[in-house]
A and B are shown apart, each in its own frame.
Chain A
Amino acid sequence: MEFKSEFFRSPPTPVALLPYGMVRYHGAPADLRDIPLGTILNIKAFLPPDPKNSSVVTTPNHWYPLPPENHAMLIEDEPSLCLREGKTWRLKEVDMKNDQGLVVATCESKDAAEAKAPEQKMTLDATTRFWRGRESLKLADLIAEGTWPASGKKSLGGQSVLLGLCWKPCPDGIFVRYHISDIWLDETSTQRAIQSQTEVHKSLIRSRWMPAFVDNVEYGKFGRAKVTVTLFGGMDPALYADFKKGGQTAINGAENTLKHAGGSYGPAHMASKGPILEVVKTSGAVPMGSSGVQVTMETDLIIEGIRPGRVVRIRASDWPNLYVPREEYIGDHPSVEDRFPSPALFPRY
């Protein structure tokens, strides 16, 4: 975490996603598994909803003022934050020395009325990727083109770009200076990055099902019930559009980690199946974490995992019937740790 002290000394602070916590990477929906280690992330988080069942530590570190708000509602990388907040990085100047570049830039609002942003210094080097249209360029390519200096200073004229940021150890006793991992030089390259990540995440959600929580259950006879769920937010709109009135659907119980219940026979085996009776889109402001889409379905197999307030996963009728890997479901004879992961995984520094 970034403090007003030397960044490298800060022990990594554990973080968990709320069931409806959203991840954004390259301006698109993502999963934590999509984000490379070292990526700079912006986090919006809360205190643990239930400290007894927290999968991350609830007691603050004695030395560093780590925030107790470690249950994340939103985790996003730098391009995602900039795109959401309507900001852009403006490159002022680069100074190249021994294949290392020092970039001076400002992160500005596209709204010209906002106050002038402070200048920041960031490093780049031969590992930095430059994206232009459909090209993936190296620093050497730009130097060869003459758009970037091989050595010395060059004014970059406030060029508007998106930056991917990471951190690397940096010399000269500097508390924190981020490193530029990626530069998207134009709108086309940005849109292509968004599209690429969106496809990755769509594929994931089609196989793992849409997370949601149960709003309401109207119990019928002999195990029948009408179940209304609110789909969680942060997905590509095309996935929500797959839930259509009249289509068949399946709901399976899940834990707060979004692990499927139901064991090794796959999520569809024990899922409650039935027709979609209604799909309602919320009018008005939609809270963060929610999609604003409610689905009501009818089933003849109402089970314990499908109670109001419980987290579930729901599948649209034309999504493939797949099995998820072992670590993504609760086994038939689970340990308590399987269901309620403890913070024991995290090292203490």
Chain B
Amino acid sequence: MAHSSSFIVLCSWLLALGAYAANEGQGTKNQEQAPEVFRPVAGSFPPIEKAHTYQGELAFVDHANRRGSIRVQGPGIFRSTEPNPFTLLPYGMVRYRGAPAELRDIPLGTVLHITAFLPPDPKTSSVPVLPVDNRNRDANHRRGVGVFPAENHALLVEDEASYCQRMGLTWKLKEADFQDLQGTMTAALERKQGGEKPVEQKLNYDHATRFWRGRDCLTLTEVVAEGILPASGKKAMEGRSVLLGLTWKPTPGGVFLRYHISDVWLDASASERAAKVQAEAHKTFIRSRWVPGWVDSVEYGKFGRATVTVTLFGGIDPTLYADFQQGGQAYLNGAENTLKYTESGSAGPTQMAARGPIVEVRRYSGEIPTGCSGIQVRFETDLITEGIRPTKIVRMRPASWPDVHLPREEYINGNAGNLEERFPTPAIFPKY
């Protein structure tokens, strides 16, 4: 009898647990009507069309763990919206000023466009896990719907200039109005190829705004002196086409949301120079940190030998991929989802890296998914380690790149590393 009772209690408990698990984060009682819940899986690039996209202001960065917080733009009061934590997927790409970048390159306050997914594995998420339908929920307190999306694992993070270049968009300036140290620009974000008429938007500018023309960096005073913008009052801008860098600053007049212009690239020469400078910064960075990728397959040989096939992640300058040449030597080291090195600790990533010749460099035929470079590298090594298994994240470099040691916050300190180093928890993010 006692056993029967225990069995019934256990079954009830399991039923209750099952019901809880089924409803966890769904926000709906009817499972049949629940939308498809898509999560990226290890070893496969998620289709970008299944991503959720949003934009907002970068408010916090934990660069070593490739995560931060963004104040997401919604229909409500922007300033009242608490920054929402996000993290980069291992193959997540950052673009700044139209070039590859890292989160560390982006100034706080920059307006970013985010393409993101639900956490691939909620148990090990380094940012808070939210109900899957949170983007459809009203955050109340006049913050509106969609400002705390559960899709906080980013595939693509890009600033306004990068977004416009990728989407073939350009800002057309319509009218400038300057009063009391503050300017208001009426502008429209239009397709370069034309199309339906876009909605005009108002943006702020002031004496902190930088104007780039060719290789000159101009102040507002100089642009005003040249007659491009008014010293005071209104001036028609006649649809001048520019690229804009956007940030957010508190706006007077009870305006829910108005972005601020941090940079104006007045011509193609100026924007190309900005992209070039950022591309160089990122090339130097990747040469010292190695190209991230994942292991597609391992063909095991004898005595620790193996032939390893790696897909290199995307979003990096093409000249870096070109450095992986068949017949050249390469190094491969294990990494975490944060792209921190797992092996070698303070002795530098080369010390414990698997090394050997590149047997083959293959380029994908057909469409390349976002996050992927479309390049597979096969190499042979006599030191196959636990970090180099199919679907595991690795970093790889050709032997011609410099052998350098990384700063302490960018590697896991071998056996002395604590759990938090390997699986950062969301504890770093403040709760408001």
B46 within 8 A of A: no
Complexed CA–CA distance, A237 and B408 (Å) = 40
B60 to chain A: closest CB distance in Å? 8
Q: Is the interface of B mostly helix, strand, loop or mixed?
A: mixed
Complexed CA–CA distance, A192 and B218 (Å) = 9
- Which among A6, A129, A349 has the highest number of chain B CB atoms within 10 Å? A349
* Number of residue pairs spanning A and B whose beta carbons lie under 8 angstroms apart: 133
Which of B12-20, B277-285, B300-308, B365-373 sits within the interface? B277-285
A2 within 8 A of B: no
Could you say which interface size class chain A belongs to?
A: 35 or more
Complexed CA–CA distance, A109 and B312 (Å) = 49
Given contacts A127-B280, A325-B250, contact A134 B217 (CB under 8 A): yes
A187 within 8 A of B: no
Structural contact, A203 and B104, CB atoms closer than 8 A? no
Structural contact, B63 and A171, CB atoms closer than 8 A? no
Structural contact, B217 and A8, CB atoms closer than 8 A? no
Chain A residue contacts of B212, Cβ below 8 A: 136
- Which among A134, A167, A337 has the highest number of chain B CB atoms within 10 Å? A134
One of A136, A203, A335, A345 near B208 (C-beta < 8 A): A203
Complexed CA–CA distance, A196 and B61 (Å) = 24
B314 to chain A: closest CB distance in Å? 21
Structural contact, B208 and A127, CB atoms closer than 8 A? no
Given contacts A134-B216, A207-B249, A322-B250, contact A11 B408 (CB under 8 A): yes
Given contacts A199-B207, A322-B250, contact A347 B280 (CB under 8 A): no
Chain A residue contacts of B407, Cβ below 8 A: 8, 12, 167, 169
Structural contact, A199 and B206, CB atoms closer than 8 A? yes
Q: What is B's interface to A at a CB cutoff of 8 Å?
A: 59-61, 63-64, 71, 79-83, 104-105, 107-109, 141, 182, 206-208, 210, 212, 215-219, 222, 248-252, 273, 276-277, 280-281, 283-284, 288, 346, 402-409, 413, 418, 420-421, 427-428, 430-432
- 12 A-B pairs within 8 Å (CB atoms) are namely A8-B407, A36-B104, A38-B104, A127-B277, A138-B277, A202-B207, A207-B249, A322-B252, A327-B83, A338-B430, A347-B409, A347-B420
Apart from A129-B277, A326-B79, list 19 A-B contacts with CB within 8 A. A8-B408, A33-B108, A125-B284, A127-B281, A134-B217, A134-B218, A170-B404, A171-B404, A202-B207, A202-B208, A203-B207, A203-B208, A207-B249, A325-B79, A337-B431, A344-B427, A347-B421, A348-B418, A349-B413
Q: What is A's interface to B at a CB cutoff of 8 Å?
A: 6, 8-12, 33-34, 36-38, 125-127, 129, 131, 134-138, 141, 167-171, 192, 195-196, 199-200, 202-203, 207, 264, 320-327, 331, 335, 337-338, 344-345, 347-349
